[in-house]
Structures are given as C-alpha cells and as structure tokens.
Structure 1
Amino acid sequence: MGANLVSALLGVPLTWLAALGVQMIFGGGTPYGLNGFGRKLYAAVVQAPWLIPYEDAWWLVPSAFTVIMLYFFLSSWLIEYGVMYLLFHKSYDKVLIRESLFKANLISYIFLYVCGLIYWFTAGF
C-alpha cells in the first residue's frame, strides 16, 4: 500500500508536470489546428496534459485521456516497482515483483480508464 501511495501522491502529479513540460518544450501551448492526421495525433499526444480548446474536437478529450492514462500507468508501475524492490529485493525475486506490479497496475488502470470513459460518454460531454 505504501508504494501505491507514493505513486499516487508523488508519481501522478510529477508525471503530469513532466508531460506538461514536454508539451511546452515542443510548442504544445500553441493551437496548430487539426487539419490532417499528423496534427490530430500531435494534439492528442503532445497536448494531452493541457488541451487547447479546438472547435469541433469532441474526440480530443477521450484521446488525450487515453494518452495521459498511459503515462500515469507507466509511471505508477515504475515507481511502485522501485519502492517494492528497495523494500523486498532480498526476500522476493525482482521478476516476480515487476510482473506482479505490472498486472496489478494494469488491472487498476483498465478499471479507471473504463470508468473515465463511461463518465465522459454518459455525462453529456
């Protein structure tokens, strides 16, 4: 539970800040439009932490949500693995720790993702 608390209280905000930093470095604070697949992909991936209010882009919120959830999943898994490895590397095999945390985080984030999409689609956005 301690590892999960560390990843929730520190990992998620720091991951969002890092993603926002990448967005600002790559000009993500500027609206480039959504003409063409490349610009749509750019908006959904690079601008995911802080979306630009584009017109007629209903699909952008669930797309950015998908991207940011992937960032959070990876950071949570890696942070929790680091904490658990430090605590239990003498008692448990590191492969067992890594795989167990991957599966636990995968289940958690699939649940959170589905809940988020259900909320988005049923709340009338």
Structure 2
Amino acid sequence: MIYQYKGKTPVIDPTAFIASDTVITGDVEIGAYSSVWFKTVIRGGDVSPVKIGAYTNIQDLSLLHQSPELPLIIEDYVTIGHQVTLHSAVIRQHALVGMGSIILDGAEIGEGGAFVGAGSLVPPWQKNPT
C-alpha cells in the first residue's frame, strides 16, 4: 500500500520489488532493483525524507522512520535483516544490518562490508567506521 502524505507521494523505481502488504507513506525514494518485503512499514515525510538506494534489500517486518530535520538514508547494496528498526540513521554502501537490530537517530553504519549483529542496539550518534 502506497500513500501520499502532506503532498508527497513515494517515488519507487519500476524495477524495485515491493511486497503486497508493505506500507510506504510520504516522502520516500526507493532505487533500482531494491526489494522491500512483507509487512514492512516505511513512513517518510511526516518530519523528514527516507531515501533508499539501488540493489538494497529491506526484509520482512522492518520499520523505517525519522526525526525532524534528520532523514533516514540507506545507500546502495545494503541488506536490512528481518524486523529491523531504523530511525534517522545513515546506512552506507554494502552494509548488513542483522535481524532484530535497532539503529537510532544520527547513527552511521560504515560502508564496505560493515556488519551489525542480530539483535544489536546502535545508540544515537554512534559512528561505525568501515
């Protein structure tokens, strides 16, 4: 289900796969060949945008949101495991976020193979180098 919110409609590349029961709202961009799996919620635009790059995989039951003036950015070739919560973070290229992890405002996960283990909590403003 794709919804307009505050005059913003999600922009989804036609090559992306979006599962039928995914909810995507507002100021959200999803790049080429990305996939968003069942029961995921991506809520953008109520306070900041959500940007998801190309070839990125958001797995089942994940929740993506943001804080005022602090967008959620997920770059290319990222894997987000099942039931992950991402809130106003930056996830760099080729990173993997393990199942059940929570990554909070201002946190940054490095590129080039950074790995967040399953069930991890990454607190606000934590920086993870490459």
Which entry has the higher C-alpha Rg, 1 or 2? 1
Larger relative CO (CA 8 A, sep 6+): 1 or 2?
1
With structure 1 as the length reference, what TM-score do the two structures score?
A: 0.21
When you count helix as a share of all residues, which structure comes out higher? 1
With structure 2 as the length reference, what TM-score do the two structures score?
A: 0.21
When you count strand as a share of all residues, which structure comes out higher? 2
